[in-house]
Amino acid sequence: MPEAAPLLQLERVHRRFAVAGGRQLHAVDDLSFSIAPGESLGLVGESGCGKSTLVRLIARLLDTSDGRIVFDGEDLAALPARRFATAAQRREIQMVFQDPTDSLNPRFTAREAIREPLTLLAKMPRAAADARVDEVAGQVGLPAALLSRFPHQLSGGQKARVGIARALAVKPRLLILDEPTAALDVSVQAVVLQLLERLREELGLALLFVSHDLNVVRLLTDRVAVMYLGKLVEIGPSEQVFRAPRHPYTQSLVSAIPGQGPRIRLAGEVGSPIDPPPQLCRFHGRCPRGEDRCAREAPALRPVGAALVACHFADPTT
């Protein structure tokens, strides 16, 4: 765990969605972790495991069902999402969405898109906001000549830069990126990732980086959190988790990275997040190791080496 007082601390956060038949879909189930100032945390796990729900809770685009989300000492989960829109923290937590085309207003030029949060959230006068747009465009490597263009006149990489500039304009302390490179081709991804790494060093901002690309997470993050069916199954220093994953699910994920030795293929299908049996390990049925105990007793997160791992049998030496 980081030494400094955390910038963000999640305490037993839950988000359930009501689904047909009076049942509950447990998208995020009892998650606790923290992010230190200036730290970068990766969040990985297969599609549907709850990553986007989790980051939307942190950005207050969704209300929690239970739990606390403490940012800089204040519980954001206690603020209704609607009130958060005008709260001071709204500036300090900014999000970059997966697809820059969807998240940019087609009627706004790049300058207008980047300026909007400055006038709306930071209440900056127009001239000061324009000066800040020029500054932040420079930081993300967006040529001034492109600022008068509309999204359809920009390339994928340029739109991604507008999205990042827009998020950075108000000088957030936490930047959340939900699969920011998924819609970009590989050469553009590399440029955007270098840019993020440089900005983190220059501006000291904390990053919560969601990606299905483990190689990218390994390069870009200090720590990594692994989710499976709404649960946190492993969290620890990225270097350790990628070198010696302890949870059987993390082991299978890491084995899929080329050059990581034999691929561990999982049997069966992902279970259902709807009313999951509380006594059952979520990974039971797919886990290569699964034993009787795993069907009777859900594993809690516990320290294993420098990581926290939710598996009865995780061992620091294997």
Ligand X SMILES: Nc1ncnc2c1ncn2[C@@H]1O[C@H](COP(=O)(O)OP(=O)(O)O)[C@@H](O)[C@H]1O
Name which of 74, 310, 31 is nearest 173 in CA terms.
Answer: 74
Give CB contacts under 8 A, 24+ apart, made by 231-235.
231/29, 231/30, 231/31, 231/282, 231/310, 232/31, 232/32, 232/33, 232/301, 232/308, 232/310, 233/282, 233/283, 233/309, 233/310, 233/311, 234/307, 234/308, 234/309, 234/310, 235/33, 235/301, 235/307, 235/308
Q: Which does 49 bind (CB under 5 to 8 A by kind): ligand X, Mg ion, ligand SF4, none?
A: ligand X
Q: Does 52 bind Mg ion (CB under 5 A)?
A: yes
By CB under 6 A, is residue 302 in contact with ligand SF4?
Answer: no
Q: Does 189 contact Mg ion by CB under 5 A?
A: no
Q: Are 175 and 210 within 8 A, CB to CB?
A: no
Task: Record the tokens describing residue 67, joined without a space.
Answer: 């739990």
- The span from the CA of 215 to the CA of 242, in Å, is 9
CB 200 within 8 A of CB 254: no
Element containing residue 178 per DSSP (H, E): strand 174-178
Could you tell me the smallest distance in angstroms from the CB atom of residue 76 to Mg ion? 20
Q: Which spans of this chain sit near ligand X (rule: CB under 6 A)?
A: 17, 25, 27, 45, 47-53, 273
Least Cβ distance, residue 50 to ligand X (angstroms) = 4
Question: What's the closest the beta carbon of residue 268 comes to ligand X, in angstroms?
Answer: 17
Smallest distance from ligand X to CB 108, Å: 26
Check if the beta carbon of residue 150 is closer than 8 Å to that of residue 109: yes
Q: Is 309 left (phi over 0), alpha (psi -120 to 50) or beta?
A: beta
Smallest distance from ligand X to CB 19, Å = 6
Which residues, in sequence order, are CB contacts of 137 under 8 Å at separation 6+?
110, 114, 143, 144, 147, 165
Amino acid identity at 31: L
Q: How far is the CB of 53 from Mg ion (least distance, A)?
A: 8
Return the residues of window 244-273 that contact ligand SF4 according to CB under 6 A.
Answer: 248
Identify the residue whose tokens are 């969704």.
62
Residue 48 interaction partner, one of Mg ion, ligand SF4, ligand X, none, beta carbon < 5-8 Å per kind: ligand X
Q: Which range in 15-23, 56-64, 251-259, 309-317 contacts ligand SF4 by CB under 6 A? A: 309-317
Radius of gyration of the chain (CA): 20
Q: Which region, judged by CB under 6 A, interacts with ligand SF4, from 25-33, 111-119, 124-132, 306-314?
A: 306-314
Answer for which of 166, 242, 299, 308 binds ligand SF4 (CB under 6 A) is 299
Question: What does 304 bind: Mg ion, ligand X, ligand SF4, none (CB cut-off 5 to 8 Å by kind)?
Answer: none
In the complex, the smallest distance separating the C-beta of residue 126 from ligand X, rounded to whole angstroms, is: 37
Closer to ligand X at the Cβ: 191 or 274? 274
From the list 45, 158, 284, 308, which residue makes contact with ligand SF4 (rule: CB under 6 A)? 284
Find which of ligand X, Mg ion, ligand SF4, none residue 50 binds, CB within 5 to 8 Å per kind: ligand X
User: Which residues of the shown chain bind ligand SF4 in the complex (CB under 6 A)?
Assistant: 248, 281, 283-284, 287, 289-291, 294, 299, 311-313
User: Which residues of the shown chain bind Mg ion in the complex (CB under 5 A)?
Assistant: 51-52
